[in-house]
Amino acid sequence: MKLTILILLVITSFCSCGILREKYAHKAIDVLTPMIGVPVVSKIVNNAAKQLVHKIAKNQQLCMFNKDVAGWCEKSCQQSAHQKGYCHGTKCKCGIPLNYK
C-alpha cells in the first residue's frame, strides 16, 4: 500500500512538471489503486488522487492559494502584456487584481 501511494505521488509530480499529461496520469491511477487491499480505501484513494492530479495539472505559473510562489505569473505577464500579474487561485491573470481578500 505504501509503495502504491508513493508511485501515485511520483505520477502527480510528473504531471505538475508537464512531463506526463493528465489523462495518462488518470489511467495510471486506475491501474495502481486496485493494488490497495481494502476496496473502500482503494476507491477513496483513486478519487482523491484524480482530483489532486487535476488541480495540479491546471495550475498556471505556480500560482497557489492566490500567491505567486515562484514569481512566474508576474514575469510572464510582464513579458506578454506589460502588466502586473495576479494569481486567482491557481490561475494567473494579467492586469486583473483580486476583487476579494
Contact (CB, 8 A) for 36 and 4: yes
Query: Which residue is it, cell 505567486?
Result: 68
| pLDDT, tens digit, 9 for 90 and up, residues 37-84 | 888 888 888 898 888 888 777 666 778 888 888 888 899 899 988 999
CA distances from 77 to 12, 66, 67 (A): 27, 15, 15
95 band by pLDDT with thresholds 50, 70 and 90: very high
pTM, full prediction: 0.55
